[in-house]
Amino acid sequence: MTAQPGRLNDIPFAAIAGITATVTVFAISQGLSYPLLSFILQRQGASPGMIGLSAAMTPLGFIVSSLVVPALSRRFGAGRFAVACALISGTILAVIGWQQNIWLWFPLRFLLGFFANPLYVISETWLLAVTPAAKRGRIMGVYTSMISAGFAMGPLTLAIVGTAGWPPFIVGVVAFALCAISLLGLMGRLPDISGDHGTSVLAFARLAPLILFAVFAAAAFEQVLMSLVSVYGAAFGSPEHRMSLLLTVFIAGNIALQIPFGAMAERIGAGNMMLICAVGGLFGALLLPAVFATPLIWPLAFFWGAVAFGVYTMALVMLGERFSGPMLITGNSAFSLFWGLGGIVGPPVTGSVMSQVGPQGLPLTLAAISVALCAALFLARKRRPS
């Protein structure tokens, strides 16, 4: 980088575009697998609690692999390790489609999370390493928008090809294969992120607790919706097709608004923008029961999706502001660890609440997550008024 990183000729467009495209393709398979497996389990008669527990296996894999990604990246090279993870993840998804057994899916979904997680960690580290500080908000907005586009294509694919048989699984496996091919083409344009990373993933958590709690909250929020909104809809007689489209609209909000959110973060600060997103998430949860059966559910889902994932976008911007060099891969591994924790806690807890109090346990839990994040942000402001 030069001394004036905000200029256009200082921005490595080819590397940024390549990284973003790779993760977008990968996100297609992730956006497809969560609702697909939930629909299948629901048809098999699984309870909301069991569906949530099964969904938690993937983020459990995220948690475990987050602790070893920095070391494995150093040992095998970040690029080669990422390619191997993409190929292994595709194979695991194929086995899940072949063996549709609820108990066998527990270890398989764990392994899917374990090998899929490094793709996020390594890609986000590469992106933060090459992004100029003056443009970080908008570039990370583009990145998270494209990830959202990939996720949106997952439920949209289910609306097109259905949730029965091999077609949806084939789409996911092909997406993983394309991810591996894209990574192979990027190798020569990416920075070296190996070396001594200075601290462990667990020690890093003490350096940035607020940012990591925001990641936890964003993960819990998203994983609950992706895994259990089909159960919520079924309680009110909504068909699978409508719920797949609703998830697509939810993610479309991410696609449309992350870039404006990033631009606003450059003007008012990522922390302030994160607070706005957290308050928006709370209002969305409170409004869901009142508008679910009305046409207003579509604009609400669009807005709700934008602010829910906006929390993660702002956390990425804050990570890039505070850390650099080899600490980035440790920080991104910590992000994945807390994303996994949020994902593993959110669906089972929400599923249990829904089993106890009925379908409105879903918006109730999401509102509680939003309140907790707002409280954490206000406490941080109180400690550091500047």
Count of domains in the chain?
Answer: 1
Identify the H or E element spanning 42.
Answer: helix 13-43
| Alpha-carbon span 339 to 308, nearest angstrom | 13
Amino acid at 314: M
List the Cα angle 56/175/217 in 5-degree steps: 30
**pLDDT given for residue 325 in this prediction:** 66
Give the per-residue pLDDT at 174.
86
Q: Is 245 within the bounds of a domain? A: yes
Please report the pLDDT score of residue 298 as a whole number.
93
Domain that holds residue 184: 12-383
Please answer whether residues 192 and 69 qualify as being in contact, where contact means their C-beta atoms are separated by less than 8 angstroms.
no
Q: What are phi and psi of 225, to 5 degrees?
A: -65, -45
Q: What pLDDT score does 2 carry?
A: 35
> How far from chain centre, in Å, is Cα 124?
12
Q: What is the pLDDT of residue 367?
A: 94
C-beta separation of 278 from 216 below 8 A: no
Task: Determine how many CB atoms are found less than 10 A away from the CB of residue 266.
Answer: 17
Asked if residue 5 belongs to a domain, the reply is no
Kindly state whether residue 6 falls inside one of the protein's structural domains: no
Query: How far apart (Å, rounded) are the C-alpha atoms in residues 340 and 291?
Result: 30
Phi-psi region of 12 (alpha: psi -120 to 50; beta: other; left: phi over 0): beta
The pLDDT of residue 214: 95
Which DSSP category does 330 fall into? H
Spatial contact of 175 and 29, defined as CB atoms under 8 Å apart: yes
pLDDT score, position 130? 77
Residue 2 lies in a domain: no
- Residue 366: CATH number of its domain: 1.20.1250.20
Q: Quick check: is 3 in a domain?
A: no
Kindly give the confidence (pLDDT) of every residue in the chain, 386 residues in length, as a single tens digit, with 9 standing for 90 and above: 333 344 444 556 677 777 777 777 777 777 778 788 888 888 888 777 788 788 778 878 878 888 888 888 878 877 788 889 889 988 998 998 888 788 888 999 999 989 988 888 888 888 887 777 777 788 888 887 887 777 777 777 887 887 777 888 888 888 888 888 877 877 766 666 655 555 677 788 888 889 999 999 998 998 888 778 888 888 888 887 788 788 878 878 878 888 888 889 888 888 899 999 999 999 999 999 999 889 999 999 999 888 988 998 899 889 888 877 667 888 888 888 888 788 778 888 998 899 888 889 999 999 999 999 999 998 887 776 44
Q: What is the pLDDT of residue 8?
A: 45
CA distance linking residue 104 with residue 118, whole number of Å? 23
Nearest to 96 by CA among 180, 22, 161, 32: 32
CA-CA-CA-CA torsion sign (173, 175, 176, 182) = positive
pLDDT of residue 192: 63
Assess if residue 207 is contained within a domain. Answer: yes
Alpha carbons 318 and 313: distance in angstroms, whole number:
9
Distance between CA atoms of 307 and 386, rounded to whole angstroms? 25
Torsion of CA 19, 22, 25, 27, to 10 degrees: -60
Is there a domain that residue 298 lies in? Answer: yes
pTM value is: 0.77
Q: Can you give the pLDDT at residue 274? A: 93
* 14: three-class secondary structure by DSSP: helix
- pLDDT value of residue 5: 41
Report the distance separating Cα 122 and Cα 205, nearest Å. 18
4 within a domain of the structure (yes/no): no
